[in-house]
């Protein structure tokens, strides 16, 4: 039985059927990283500057088109059409801008081109426009990839053990409580993580992605944190000038609400990739890099897989080979699945259902009683 007992878990063959969770293997796999890499066609590791930029151009054309339609034609609509048109704009623009965020994320992994300065320039520009401190996130996210699945050293979405669960958690363990928790997580989770390290790895002092001298960063990284902060201040100044010229309400409608959707999807995507009753977490007695990298799940977002440049359904391959460009990740995923076997985790549950299920089933982690693997932790839901 998986943590939390029975749940709906679909793999394409059992769509909609109720079945017990089959836990992912937690023992050391019978294959190595080099064996996995050999199964992938060599061209999948090749980065093309032209191809990478084509995705940037495509996304920005869509962003500009949606902006043009909203700013030029929505004011001409008669009541009640604007109340229908704006939500459509927000959803479409938010989804495409999430794809832009993903491209900047690729730059942070040096998966955009063979030139580090190009990757950093593109990443800094795109992320700053979305109020993300590029270098700050780049370094903390790199540590996440280096320590995935480790209860002591992972950087984000680190689950708590039962003894460290908040005192008020039991009062939120019900449908209204879960709805409130998800609402706060999806709207405020990203800025709270950047500013206060909420849901991140605990440090011995205050940790903030905007603090160049914070504990997250080493001395050699601090100058680039200043550059990230400069990018954010520049973006905020531009937004201030736009608000003065166009009005705050206009800025909120054109930019603010789509940015909320971007932040919400970013948190949701990351949450579902690393939170599932079938996934193990490890303490220092059991953790190693390969098992940690495999302790993540691919998800299916339907048509949004393409809009999000397949960060959703190729996340396992991404954790194994983070410098691989996204446009080869689908092919690479198909190639590694026979090697990974039961170590490959995929859940085809619609993301909106999976979000609710995981909020219900995955409250904290604990090792199994009587298990010889004391350093392997599984999700539970009984408080």
**What average pLDDT does range 206-233 have in this prediction?**
97
Structure tokens at 285: 């007695």
pLDDT, one tens digit per residue, over 307-332 is 999 999 999 999 999 999 999 999 99
Phi-psi region of 149 (alpha: psi -120 to 50; beta: other; left: phi over 0): left
Asked whether the predicted pLDDT for residue 2 surpasses 70, the reply is: no
pLDDT, one tens digit per residue, over 232-262 is 999 999 999 999 999 999 999 999 999 999 9
Cβ neighbours for 75, distance < 8 A, ≥ 6 positions apart: none
Structure tokens at 98: 């999430």
Asked whether the predicted pLDDT for residue 100 surpasses 80, the reply is: yes
Q: What is the pLDDT of residue 20?
A: 60
pLDDT, one tens digit per residue, over 55-89 is 999 999 999 999 999 999 999 999 999 999 999 99
User: What whole-number distance in Å separates Cα of residue 113 and Cα of residue 52?
Assistant: 7
Asked whether the predicted pLDDT for residue 6 surpasses 90, the reply is: no
Asked whether the predicted pLDDT for residue 18 surpasses 80, the reply is: no
User: What whole-number distance in Å separates Cα of residue 251 and Cα of residue 237?
Assistant: 13
Asked whether the predicted pLDDT for residue 144 surpasses 60, the reply is: yes
Predicted model pTM:
0.93
Beta bridge partners of 380: 364
Q: What is the pLDDT of residue 365?
A: 96
pLDDT, one tens digit per residue, over 180-211 is 999 999 999 999 999 999 989 999 999 999 99
Strands 298-299 and 346-347: parallel
Domain limits, the chain: 133-380
- Cβ burial, residue 331 (10 Å; 0-12/13-18/19+): middle
């Amino acid at each position: 039985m998986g943590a939390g007992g029975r749940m709906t878990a679909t793999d394409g063959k059992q769509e909609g059927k109720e079945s017990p969770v089959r836990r992912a293997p937690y023992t050391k796999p019978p294959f190595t990283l080099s064996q996995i890499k050999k199964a992938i066609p060599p061209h999948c590791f090749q980065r093309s500057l032209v191809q990478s930029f084509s995705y940037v151009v495509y996304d920005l054309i869509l962003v500009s088109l949606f902006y043009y339609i909203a700013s030029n034609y929505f004011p001409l609509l008669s009541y009640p059409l604007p109340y229908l048109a704006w939500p459509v704009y927000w959803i479409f623009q938010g989804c495409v801008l999430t794809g832009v965020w993903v491209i900047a994320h690729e730059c942070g992994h040096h998966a955009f081109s063979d030139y580090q300065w190009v990757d950093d320039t593109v990443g800094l520009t795109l992320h700053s426009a979305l109020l993300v401190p590029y270098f700050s996130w780049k370094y903390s996210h790199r540590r996440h990839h280096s320590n995935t699945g480790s209860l002591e050293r992972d950087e984000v979405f680190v689950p708590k053990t039962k003894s460290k669960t908040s005192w008020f958690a039991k009062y939120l363990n019900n449908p209204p409580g879960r709805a409130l928790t998800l609402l706060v997580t999806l709207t405020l989770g990203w800025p709270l993580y950047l500013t206060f390290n909420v849901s991140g790895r605990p440090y011995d002092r205050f940790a903030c992605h905007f603090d160049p001298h914070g504990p997250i960063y080493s001395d050699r990284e601090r100058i680039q944190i200043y550059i990230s902060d400069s990018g954010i201040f520049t973006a905020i100044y531009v937004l201030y000038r736009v608000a003065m010229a166009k009005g705050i309400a206009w800025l909120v409608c054109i930019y603010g609400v789509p940015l909320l959707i971007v932040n919400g999807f970013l948190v949701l995507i990351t949450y579902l990739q690393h939170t599932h009753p079938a996934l193990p977490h490890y303490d220092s007695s059991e953790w190693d890099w390969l098992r940690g990298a495999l302790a993540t799940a691919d998800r299916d977002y339907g048509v949004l897989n393409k809009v999000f440049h397949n960060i959703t359904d190729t996340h396992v391959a991404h954790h194994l080979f983070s410098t691989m460009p996204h446009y080869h990740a689908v092919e690479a995923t198909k190639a590694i699945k026979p090697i990974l076997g039961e170590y490959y985790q995929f859940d085809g549950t619609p993301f909106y259902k999976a979000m609710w299920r995981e909020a219900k089933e995955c409250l904290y982690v604990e090792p199994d009683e009587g298990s010889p693997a004391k350093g392997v932790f599984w999700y539970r839901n009984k408080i």
